[in-house]
Amino acid sequence: MTTTSLKKINPRSFDYWKAQHLLNRAGFGGQPDQVLALRNRGSEDAVDYLLDFQKVREEPVLADQFDSTIMQPRSESDRRALRQARQSGNEAALERQRTMRQERQRADRRQMATMQDWWLERMIETPRPLQEKLVLFWHGHFATGYRPVEDSYHMFLQNQFFRNNGIGNFKDELVRGIIRDPAMIKYLNNNQNNRNSPNENLARELMELFTLGEGRDYSEDDIKEGARTLTGYTFRDDEFQYNSRNHDDGSKMIFGRRGNWDGDDFVELIFSRPSASRFICEKLYRYFVNDAPGGFTKAQESVLRKMSATLVKNKWELKPVLRQLFLSEHFYDEENYGACIKSPAQLVVQCIRSLHTPARSLRKLNEACGYMGQSLFNPPSVKGWEGGRKWINTSTLFIRQNIALYLLTGRDERAQPWDSASADFSARTLVEHLDDISGRDTVRDGVVYLLRFAHSTPPDDDRVQQWVTYVNERGGRLDEQTLLNLLALITAAPEYQLC
């Protein structure tokens, strides 16, 4: 039976494997010594250390980290030249303008690729894993794709917005912030939403995908009227701009209440609906606890009700909800170990952070994430990544196995002949702490430990037996090459896709 309790776990039960589960889910896993350090803090301190990440020093994001000017609108003189060229039918001048625009777009796409690498590197290196894990969560929740936005700097600003507010207040910081976010405004066409011709895109997704859930607690009329509250919410250069001339300041009827509502009022009204606390808790639950398909079980329903209540009681502050969850008996219920399928980013980052492989080429890793279905800054639609089993099919599975192999060995699929001398990776550190953890040091202990450590779930006996036999056939020693071979197999096993 799954425990439905959000009651705190007994601090004495917080062992090495619970600490690892916490680090996998609230971050991207860690090496054995990091897991040990977390365990040694005890459950409360460990959770607070992860949650209060603002206290941890980190590499600051620089103001001039990226170029904000690449896609800025044409200057007045450029515009004048363009107008003149159009009027006079000056083909050569028009073509120069088109070429210039194409060059800017190319430069911007290059910056977008650099930004993907920059973010992936942050996930790999950050001393604040939960912060980056939440940036990834919000990027999937408030999904915005680069292509329609066509301005990498706006994608960067949105990414920073998630970094700065990811564990803050859902209503006052995240939702009120996102309706002012230039990338989102462009992506959902709110810059075209004005009093004379309203565009409903943002109003619709605000309720359907960001707060209430599809078809819950709102009607088509609420969308139409809601869109009017958001008229005139646009941006200029890199900043939100409220354009009062385009704003419809007439009276609107939303959820049966009439008033001269603006966008912030609309947000307040949405958060008076019962689904507002439920929907986001469902998404947090799927992301952090269990993403198995099918409806929620009775036990899960009960947990979701309690999470929602905590969110409302704390006036939409997210930290108390996550704290309660990460300290709960339910979170550490054995049914929830290995119950999430790693996203491509989680797979890559966790492989590096927990097995301690080199990161090798960030570009190659980002490309692989794309092949596995998760190109950063390019979610497939405003619905974001569905996640869970949707990540997996026969071809993504091979890419998943092979990218782990690449991280372990440094050899990609084109390299011939195979030479693992360049691996630049030692697996010994993974088993150095074996004495502290299991107290013994036989081949079986080593295999059991490595399997458990890499697979996040207790290994089944058949697996253990398969690989003990394999090691014994190789001479019965966990030497460097045997460990590497074992890890190649461990990362190719179906269980490795679980978190």
Partner 1 sequence: MTDHNEHPWSRRLFLQQGVTLASLAATTPLFIERSARGVMLPLGSLVSSQAGVPEDRVLVVVQLGGGNDGLNTVIPYGSDDYYRLRPQLAIQAPGRDNGALAIDGGDGIGLNPAMSGFKELMDEGVAGIVQGVGYPNPNRSHFSSMDIWHTADPQGKNNGWIGRYFDNTCSGTPNPEVGVAIGRQAPLAMQGASQLPVSFERAELFRWMGTDMDPQLEDPYEQIARTNHAGPVEEERSQNAFLKRTTLDARVSSDKVRRAVAQTPLVSYPNSNLAGQLRMVGSMIRAELPTRVYYVTLGGFDTHANQVGQHARLLEQVGNALNAFYRDLQAQGNSGRVMTMVFSEFGRRVAQNGSSGTDHGTAAPMYFIGDMVRPGLLGTHPSLTRLDEGDLVHNTDFRTVYASVLEDWMGADSNGILGGTWKTESLLRGG
Task: Give contact residues for partner 1 (rule: CB under 8 A).
Answer: 91-92, 95, 98, 145, 147-148, 291-294, 338-341, 367, 370-371, 373, 380-382, 386, 389-398, 401-402, 405, 409, 411, 413, 418, 420, 457, 460, 462-463, 466-467, 470, 485, 488-489, 492-495, 497-498
Q: How far is the CB of 258 from partner 1 (least distance, A)?
A: 31
Structure tokens at 20: 């690892």
**Residue with Cβ nearer partner 1 (319 or 463):** 463
- Dist. CA 118–CA 363, nearest whole Å: 10
Q: How crowded is residue 251: how many other Cβ atoms within 10 Å of its Cβ?
A: 11
Amino acid in position 209: L
Q: How far is the CB of 409 from partner 1 (least distance, A)?
A: 6
Q: How far is the CB of 98 from partner 1 (least distance, A)?
A: 7
- Dist. CA 224–CA 202, nearest whole Å: 11
Q: How far is the CB of 207 from partner 1 (least distance, A)?
A: 17
**Residue with Cβ nearer partner 1 (226 or 373):** 373
- Neighbouring residues of 291: CB distance < 8 A, sequence distance ≥ 6: 339, 340, 341, 387, 388
Q: How far is the CB of 241 from partner 1 (least distance, A)?
A: 24
**Residue with Cβ nearer partner 1 (37 or 93):** 93
Q: How crowded is residue 252: how many other Cβ atoms within 10 Å of its Cβ?
A: 22
Q: Are 398 and 481 in contact (CB under 8 A)?
A: no
Q: Are 446 and 470 in contact (CB under 8 A)?
A: no
Q: How far is the CB of 161 from partner 1 (least distance, A)?
A: 21
**Residue with Cβ nearer partner 1 (87 or 244):** 87
Structure tokens at 158: 């949105």
- Dist. CA 206–CA 143, nearest whole Å: 11
**Residue with Cβ nearer partner 1 (223 or 318):** 223
**Residue with Cβ nearer partner 1 (269 or 341):** 341
**Residue with Cβ nearer partner 1 (320 or 370):** 370
Q: How far is the CB of 201 from partner 1 (least distance, A)?
A: 8
From first CA to last CA, the distance across the chain in angstroms is 21
**Residue with Cβ nearer partner 1 (70 or 437):** 70
**Residue with Cβ nearer partner 1 (100 or 253):** 100
Q: How far is the CB of 216 from partner 1 (least distance, A)?
A: 19
Q: How far is the CB of 62 from partner 1 (least distance, A)?
A: 29
Q: How far is the CB of 469 from partner 1 (least distance, A)?
A: 9
Q: Where are the alpha helices (DSSP H) in 410-457?
A: 428-431, 434-438, 443-455
**Residue with Cβ nearer partner 1 (163 or 186):** 186
β-pairing, 233-236 vs 239-242, is antiparallel
**Residue with Cβ nearer partner 1 (239 or 462):** 462
- Dist. CA 89–CA 97, nearest whole Å: 13
- Dist. CA 171–CA 50, nearest whole Å: 22
Q: Give yes or no for a cis peptide into 458 (omega within 30° of 0).
A: no
Partners of 241 in the β-ladder? 234
Q: Are 22 and 29 in contact (CB under 8 A)?
A: no
| Distance (Å) of CA 143 to CA 114, 138, 185, 380, 384 | 20, 8, 12, 9, 5
**Residue with Cβ nearer partner 1 (85 or 312):** 85
DSSP string, 65-111: SS-S-TTPPPPHHHHHHHHHHHHHT-HHHHHHHHHHHHHHHHHHHHH
User: How buried is residue 83: exposed, middle or buried, by Cβ count under 10 Å (0-12/13-18/19+)?
Assistant: exposed
Partners of 254 in the β-ladder? 257
